[in-house]
A and B are shown apart, each in its own frame.
Chain A
Amino acid sequence: MAGKIVLCRCEDMTLADLEHSVARGYRDIEEVKRYTGFGTGPCQGKECLACVATELARLTGTPPAEIPPFTSRPPLSPTPIRLLAKDPAAHIFEDET
Chain B
Amino acid sequence: MQAGIDDEEDDTRADASGQIHLPATLVGPGPIPQQAEIAIVGGGVVGLSIAYQLAKHGVHDLVVIERGYLAEGASGRNGGGVRQQWATEINIRLMQESVELCRRFAVDLGVNVWFRQGGYLFLARSDKEVKRLEKNIALQNRCGVETRMLDPKEALKIVPELDLAGIVGAAYNPTDGILFPWPFLWGYARQAAAMGAKIYTHTAVTGLVAAAGGGYTVQTTRGSVKARRVINACGAWSPELAKMIGVDIPTWPIKHEICSSEPLKPFLRPMVSELASGLYCSQSMRGEIVGGVTIPSHAGGPGAKIDMRSTLEFLATYARRLHKLMPILGDIKILRQWAGPYDQSPDGNPIVGAAPGHPDFFLACGFVGHGFMMAPIVGKLYGEWLAGGAKHEIFERYTLARFTDGSGARWAKEDFNIG
How far is A75 from B299 in the complex, measured between Cα atoms in Å?
23
B308-338 interface mask toward A, CB cutoff 8 Å, 1 = contact, 0 = none? Answer: 0011110111111111100001111111111
A3–B316 touching, CB < 8 Å: no
In the complex, what's the smallest C-beta–C-beta distance from B120 to chain A, in angstroms? 21
In the complex, what's the smallest C-beta–C-beta distance from A62 to chain B, in angstroms? 12
Give every chain B residue within 8 A of A93 (Cβ-Cβ): 276-277, 321
B330–A94 touching, CB < 8 Å: no
How far is A42 from B330 in the complex, measured between Cα atoms in Å?
17
Provided the pairs A24-B26, A79-B333 are in contact, do residues A13 and B297 lie with their beta carbons within 8 angstroms?
no
How far is A89 from B317 in the complex, measured between Cα atoms in Å?
7
How far is A19 from B22 in the complex, measured between Cα atoms in Å?
9
Kindly identify, within residues 62 to 97 of chain A, every residue whose CB is under 8 Å from any CB belonging to chain B: 73-75, 78-85, 87-91, 93-95
B262–A74 touching, CB < 8 Å: no
Q: Which residue in A23, A28, A34, A78 is a CB contact (below 8 Å) of B20?
A: A23
> Is residue B389 contacting chain A, with contact meaning CB distance below 8 A?
no
B69–A87 touching, CB < 8 Å: no
Q: Which residue in B13, B201, B277, B330 is a CB contact (below 8 Å) of A81?
A: B330
A73–B336 touching, CB < 8 Å: yes
B336–A35 touching, CB < 8 Å: no
B125–A74 touching, CB < 8 Å: no
B2-22 interface mask toward A, CB cutoff 8 Å, 1 = contact, 0 = none? Answer: 111111011101100010111
How far is A13 from B263 in the complex, measured between Cα atoms in Å?
16
In the complex, what's the smallest C-beta–C-beta distance from A76 to chain B, in angstroms? 10
Give every chain A residue within 8 A of B186 (Cβ-Cβ): 24, 35
> Is residue A50 contacting chain B, with contact meaning CB distance below 8 A?
no
A30–B72 touching, CB < 8 Å: yes
Interface centre among A13, A17, A25, A79 (most CB of B within 10 A): A25
> Is residue B25 contacting chain A, with contact meaning CB distance below 8 A?
yes
B10–A42 touching, CB < 8 Å: no
**Can you name the residue of chain A whose Cβ is closest to the Cβ of B26?**
A25
A82–B26 touching, CB < 8 Å: no
Interface centre among A12, A16, A30, A93 (most CB of B within 10 A): A93
How far is A79 from B337 in the complex, measured between Cα atoms in Å?
11
B182–A34 touching, CB < 8 Å: yes
Q: Which residue in A13, A26, A82, A90 is a CB contact (below 8 Å) of B317?
A: A90
> Is residue A31 contacting chain B, with contact meaning CB distance below 8 A?
yes
> Is residue B295 contacting chain A, with contact meaning CB distance below 8 A?
yes
Give every chain A residue within 8 A of B201 (Cβ-Cβ): 25, 28, 31
**Can you name the residue of chain B whose Cβ is closest to the Cβ of A83?**
B319
How far is A88 from B313 in the complex, measured between Cα atoms in Å?
8
Q: Which residue in A24, A37, A94 is a CB contact (below 8 Å) of B2?
A: A37
B257-274 interface mask toward A, CB cutoff 8 Å, 1 = contact, 0 = none? Answer: 000111100000000000
Provided the pairs A1-B18, A17-B5, A37-B4 are in contact, do residues A80 and B330 lie with their beta carbons within 8 angstroms?
yes
25 pairs from A and B in contact (CB 8 Å cutoff): A1-B11, A3-B10, A13-B2, A20-B13, A23-B24, A25-B27, A25-B28, A31-B69, A34-B76, A40-B3, A78-B262, A78-B333, A80-B333, A80-B334, A85-B323, A87-B312, A89-B316, A90-B317, A90-B320, A91-B296, A93-B276, A93-B321, A94-B276, A95-B166, A95-B276
Closest 8 CB pairs of A and B: A25-B26, A84-B319, A78-B333, A82-B330, A73-B336, A87-B316, A90-B316, A23-B22
